[in-house]
Structure formats: structure tokens, C-alpha cells
Structure 1
Amino acid sequence: MGIKSFQGAREDQKKEYHAPILVSDYMTRNLVTFRPEQSILEVMELLVKHKISGGPVCDQRGGLVGIISEADCMKQISESRYFNMPILDKSVEKFMSTNVETIPSDMNIFDAASQFHNGHRRRLPVLDQGKLVGQLSRKDVVVAALKLNSHNY
């Protein structure tokens, strides 16, 4: 018996992938931020209280001016011991890192992973039109990789 109906060759169906792959999909939005005039002792207490290893330092207008980390606090602890002095109420601005690498919120998570791999940062502040909107950590990238594991690119 012959073919009753023939539609011709089918077009290749392109699968559209709508999984979130942007930094803004995985970044932390509720940040613990610090001020330049805050004491380093207070920062250490907040790092322990919130179980974090560092955070952005913002000025009064909310602009990013630096990053303070446990490593920066270690510098204060080391200097205090070297000079046989108690940890003083020195301000964050004396110990924070001011050369801050940032990433845009619309960067894809793979480029962010590459930036982490090529650098030595544990966290990167996320900016949107020059404004601090979040922070991406190495752990956030690992979480994203686990969620995206079953997909091909």
C-alpha cells in the first residue's frame, strides 16, 4: 500500500534552555556590610556572629569602598601580638582591601567561575549600574554548578 500522506522532512527542533545561569540568579542579596569607621574588633565579632568570612565595606551613601575579610583581621591580630598590644579599636579602613574586584549582575555564572579560578578571591561584590546589589562567593558558583549539572551547553 502506498503512502497516504507525506509532510516532508521534519525540521530539527531546537531545545530552548531557560535555566538561570546569571550571577544575579545565585548571588547573596542580604549582605552584612561594614563601614570604614567601624572598629576592627566589632567587625570580628560580626564575622563570628553571622558565620561569614568577610564582607563589603560601604560608605554613608552605600557606595562600595572596600572589602574586609578574616585575613585582614588576622593582620590586626598579628600586629597586636608583635607589638604586645591588645586589639585596639582601630578602624576598618586601615585594614580593608581597597582594590576591589567586582562583577556585573548580568554576567553568566561560567564567566564568574573563570574569574574565581584565575584570581584568589573568595567572594566578589556584584554591581548593577555601579550600585552594590549582592555578593557572589565560590560556594554560590558550586551550588549553581550542581543545579546545572544535568544540562549540556
Structure 2
Amino acid sequence: MRASDVMTCNVISVTPDMTVRDAAKVFADNRISGAPVLDDDGRLIGMISEGDLLRRVEIGTDTGKRSSWFDLFSGTRDAIDYIKTHALKVRDVMTADVVTVSPDTPLNEVANILETHRIKRVPVTDARRLAGIVSRANLVQALASIPEEPASDAALSDSDIRAMLMGELAGRNWAFAGRNLVVTDGVVHLWGTFHSIEAVQAVRVAAEGIPGVKRVEDHTEPYPVMPGI
């Protein structure tokens, strides 16, 4: 799937000359937490979010703790903070350096961008013009919309199940050695020692994703911890 398959096309936007208070009203009236900023030609020039409106002089939230001791000596940081808390126009508080994707961007790349940049939404642009928005919620909705695969009538043998599971686990440093996986009548048995509970859970998840697996039984033991000297 690509960005164009899940993006919201009917996007509420604001203009750079809109007042901060009007932008806040747009957020409140439409129950949104962010919006693209478009110029008169409809081109994307920034993004504004609730985070940009968090500290404002009007509501007495303009004072906050310094993020580091260096800020105590940074006049530039003080100036930026002042602009953010006192500016009247959207253009002065918006984020101008906006990360964007194209309509053809695969969803795995979109997810990586949202995680890496710690943002909730990313604009979709085509020739600098806004085509839509992909949010974290859109990705969740895409997952929820995937139809369940019908159960296969062809029953896999235990050896086929084990082979598929071993293929899924190949090359993963948390996976169990092959001798610790036994499949009997569609039941996957996990044996041996492990270094973390998460490793066991990951192997269980891999096994449960194999068609024909009835259940997973865990017989593993924690890796012995050497006593301190």
C-alpha cells in the first residue's frame, strides 16, 4: 500500500497570515491537532500543531524550564522562545522545514518517517501542492480495514509447519536453535533456554503466524545467571 491509498484528501488548512488565535479556533472547531499552512497559490509552506500553541502568553503558559544549562547563556534560544509565545501570526509559530511524502511513497517509508521524526502526521505533496495528509490514525485504520484471510482447506504437515517457522526465524539473533522447535499434530513446542522473555514471545508470535498451527506450548527455561563472586 502507498500513501495515496490511505491519506485523508479533504484536509483542513490554515494560511500564514491567519492569527494564532484563529488557528486555535480552527483546531477546536474541527477537533484536529494539526494543519498544513498553505500560501495563496495553494502550496505547502509549513505545518502548525498543538505543540506550537502549547506555551502562549495569553493563557500564562509562556514560562517554562530551560532544556539545558546552555540555554541560560543563549540569547538566540530566548528570542525563539519569545517568538513562539508572543507572535500573532501563524507564519511566526509554524514549522517551516516540513517533511513530506509523495502519493507513491510506500506505507513502510511513511511509518519510518513518523517514527524517526516523532510526528503524528506527514503531508502528501505533488509538485509542492498538498494532495493529502497521512496520520498515525490513517495507518491504524488501514490495518483495521484489511480483510481476514480465509482459512486454507489444505492442512500443512508438521514438517511443513516446522520448515516454514524455521524459515521465518532464520537469521534472527533472538530465535531459538532448530533443535529446540518440535511440531506435533499442529502444536509447536518450544524447548531450551532463553535470554529474555521477549525472545520467547517473538518466537511464539512467529509460530502463531504459520497456517495450520493450533497452539504454541512453551517448555523453555531462563538462561542460568552466574552467581556473583
Q: Same fold (TM over 0.5)?
A: yes
Q: Which residue of 1 aligns with 2:124?
A: 126
Aligned partners of 2:23, 2:14: CA distance in 1, in Å? Answer: 7
Q: Which residue of 2 aligns with 1:105?
A: 103
Within the alignment, does 1:22 sit opposite 2:20 as a pair? no
Q: Which residue of 2 aligns with 1:5?
A: none
Aligned partners of 1:113, 1:148: CA distance in 2, in Å? Answer: 17
Name the TM-score, length of structure 2 as normaliser: 0.51
Aligned partners of 2:86, 2:100: CA distance in 1, in Å? Answer: 30
SS in 1 for 2:99: coil
Opposite residue 24 of structure 2, the aligned amino acid is: M
Corresponding residue to 2:19 among 12, 34, 39: 39
Q: Which residue of 2 aligns with 1:68?
A: 48
Provide closer, same or farther for how the CA distance between residues 110 and 146 of structure 1 changes in structure 2, counting only shifts above 3 A.
Answer: farther
Corresponding residue to 1:139 among 137, 140, 144: 137
Structure 1 residue runs without a partner (length 5+)? 1-20
Structure 2 residue runs without a partner (length 5+)? 64-84, 150-208, 210-229
Aligned partners of 2:58, 2:128: CA distance in 1, in Å? Answer: 35
Opposite residue 63 of structure 1, the aligned amino acid is: R
What is the number of equivalent residue pairs in this alignment?
128
Q: Residue 34 of structure 1 contacts residue 56 of structure 1 at CA under 8 Å; is this kept in 2?
A: yes
Aligned Cα root-mean-square deviation (Å): 2.3
SS in 2 for 1:28: coil
Deviation at 1:117, TM superposition (A): 1.9
SS in 2 for 1:104: coil
Q: Which residue of 1 aligns with 2:93?
A: 95
Aligned partners of 1:142, 1:73: CA distance in 2, in Å? Answer: 26
Structure number with greater CO (CA < 8 Å, separation at least 6) is 1
Deviation at 1:73, TM superposition (A): 1.1
Q: Residue 87 of structure 2 contacts residue 93 of structure 2 at CA under 8 Å; is this kept in 1?
A: no
Q: Could you tell me the percent identity over the aligned residues?
A: 28
Aligned partners of 2:134, 2:118: CA distance in 1, in Å? Answer: 14
